[in-house]
Amino acid sequence: MKDDQTGVIDMGVRTTRMRIGAVVAACAAAAVLAGCSGGTDEVNGGTPAATTTPATTPAATAGTTPAADSGAGTGSRTNGGGGSGVPRCTSAELTLTLGQGDAGAGSVHRPLVFTNKGTRTCELTGFPGVSYVAGADGHQVGPAAVMSGAHGPEISMAPGRSSQAQVQFVQVANFDAAVCQPTPVRGLRVYPPGETASMFVAVDGATGCAGTPPGPQLSVQTMTAA
C-alpha cells in the first residue's frame, strides 16, 4: 500500500515540475519575442528600447505673410515694412532731391523727394529725419528738424515712383544772432523713415543756427505721395 502511495506522490511531483518548466519556458519565449525584459532592448546591449513617436506636422498659422525678397531687406514685416506687408524702402534703393517750394512769412517750404531706383515695390511711412550739416566732415549744425502735423499713412512706391515730405526752412536771420550763431551750411542730412543709413542733399546758400534758437529752424511733415 505504501508503494502505491509513493508512486502517486512521485507522479504528482513530476507533474508539478513539468508544469513549472512549461511556465518558465513560456515566459522566456514571451520575453524574447515581446521585449519584456525590464523595458530594455537586449539587441542594443541593455539600453532602453526605442519608442517610435508618430511625426507631427505643425499647424499652419493664420495670417502669415510669405517673405518675398527681391532686393535689399527681407521682404517681411520684421524689417519695418508697413501693415500691407510691403517692405520699407532702404536708403540704398532711393534717390533724394530737393524740390522748389513756396515762400511764406519768414520761411520757405520745399519738398524732399524720394524716388525708388530699385527693382521692387517698397514703402515709406511717417517722418524722415532732417538736419543741417556743414564742413568737409558733414557735422550737424544746430537742432534737427521738428515733426509737424499728423503721422500719415503708408506710401507705396513701385520702381521709378516717388514720394515726398515737406520741409519748412525758417529764415534764421530773424533770430537773435547772439543766440542763433548763424553758420553757412552745405545741405541736409536726411534719414528716410525707419532707416539708420543717411542720405545727403545740397542746399545752395543756406544758413543754419549753430546755437539753440528760440524756435525750430527746420520742420518736417509726414510722407505723402508725390
Per-residue model confidence (pLDDT) at position 105:
80
Per-residue model confidence (pLDDT) at position 115:
98
With a cut of 50, list the residues of the chain below it in pLDDT.
1-9, 12-13, 16, 20, 22-79
Per-residue model confidence (pLDDT) at position 169:
97
107 and 171 Cβ atoms separated by less than 8 Å: yes
Could you tell me the CA-to-CA distances from 107 to 52, 182, 183, 206 in Å, in that order? 76, 16, 17, 12
Could you tell me the CA-to-CA distances from 62 to 66, 82, 131, 145 in Å, in that order? 12, 19, 43, 41
Q: What does the alpha-carbon distance between residue 67 and residue 86 come to, in Å, rounded to a whole number? A: 10
Would you say the pTM of this structure is higher than 0.75?
Answer: no
Query: For residue 221, what are the contacts with CB-CB under 8 A and spacing of at least 6?
Result: 127, 147, 148, 149, 165, 166, 167
Neighbours of 44 (CB within 10 A): 10
